[in-house]
Amino acid sequence: MEINDFIKCVAEQYEEVDAQEFTPETKFKMFEEWSSLTSLSIIAAVDDEFGITLKGDDIRNATTIQDLFEAAEAKA
């Protein structure tokens, strides 16, 4: 799993934010459109793309995409 693929996967779950804006340091829950639906979308998309099942807690405990990536890697 590459960080760039992971970022792309996360970015695709946003409607309003330009994909170019996302970096490992992006605080992905700070966007106005963030909701529980975005959270569930990320969980499902990461599962589909990388076969890794994130939990709600992983999302809650992460601040940046890098945090989330590391949580995913720990489960890989």
Partner 1 sequence: MYNPFSISGKTILITGAGSGIGRSTAIIASQMGATVILVDINEEGIKETLSRIDEHKAGHSYYVVDLMDSKEVESLVEDVVCLDGLVNNVGISNTRPLHLIREEDFNLVVGLNTKAPMILTNLLYKKKKFNKGASIVFTSSLAGLYTFTPANGLYSLSKSALTSYAKSCAVEFAVREIRSNCVNPSMVNTHLKESLSFSEDEYKKDVEKYPLKRYAEPEEVAKAIVFLLSDASSYITGHTLLVDGGRSLK
Residues within the interface to partner 1 (CB under 8 A): 35-37, 39-41, 43-45, 48, 55-56, 59-60
CB of 44 to partner 1, least distance (A): 4
CB 21 within 8 A of CB 10: no
Nearer to partner 1, 4 or 53 (CB): 53
Count of C-beta atoms within a 10 Å radius of residue 41:
15
Nearer to partner 1, 3 or 29 (CB): 29
CB 63 within 8 A of CB 27: yes
CB of 10 to partner 1, least distance (A): 13
Tokens representing 52 are: 């890794």
